[in-house]
C-alpha cells in the first residue's frame, strides 16, 4: 500500500481527508503512483502534471524520505520505505507569494 500526502487544495478538490492509500501494480515509480492517483481521483488530472505531456507542473514538488524527488525520472523506482508504506510520497505545493 502506497501512502500519498496531498496539499490542502488538492485534498479539497479530491474530497479526501488525510492521507490517500493506493495499490500500485508493478514497479513503484512516480509515474505509477500518479497514474494510480489520477485513476482514483480523476479531478486531479492536470492539477499535478500536464494532461498531455505528463510533465510535473512547475510549482508542484515531490518529496519522500526527507529527499526532494522532483527532478528524478518519472520511471525511476521510489525509495523502499515508500514502497513498503513506512514513509509517504508527498505532493507539495511550492512556496510562492500571493
Does 81 sit near other proteins (CB under 8 A)? Answer: no
How many Cα atoms sit within 13 Å of 3 on the Cβ side? 16
Distance of CA 16 to the CA centre of its chain: 14
Between 51 and 71, CB nearer to other proteins: 51
* 59 belongs to the binding site for other proteins (CB under 8 A): yes
For other proteins, which stretch binds (CB under 8 A), given 18-26, 46-54, 63-71, 72-80?
46-54
- 43 counts as binding other proteins under rule CB under 8 A: yes
Q: Output DSSP code: residue 44.
A: G
Residue 14: count of CB within 10 angstroms of its CB? 17
Q: Which residue number, 1 or 52, has a Cβ lying nearer to other proteins? A: 52
Cell of 72: 528524478
Amino acid at each position: 500500500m502506497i501512502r500519498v500526502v496531498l496539499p490542502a487544495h488538492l485534498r479539497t478538490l479530491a474530497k479526501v481527508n488525510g492521507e490517500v492509500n493506493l495499490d500500485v501494480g508493478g514497479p513503484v515509480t512516480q509515474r505509477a503512483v500518479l497514474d494510480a492517483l489520477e485513476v482514483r481521483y480523476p479531478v486531479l488530472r492536470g492539477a499535478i502534471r500536464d494532461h498531455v505531456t505528463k510533465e510535473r507542473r512547475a510549482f508542484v514538488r515531490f518529496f519522500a524520505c526527507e529527499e526532494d524527488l522532483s527532478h528524478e525520472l518519472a520511471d525511476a523506482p521510489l525509495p523502499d520505505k515508500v514502497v513498503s508504506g513506512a514513509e509517504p510520497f508527498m505532493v507539495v505545493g511550492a512556496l510562492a507569494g500571493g
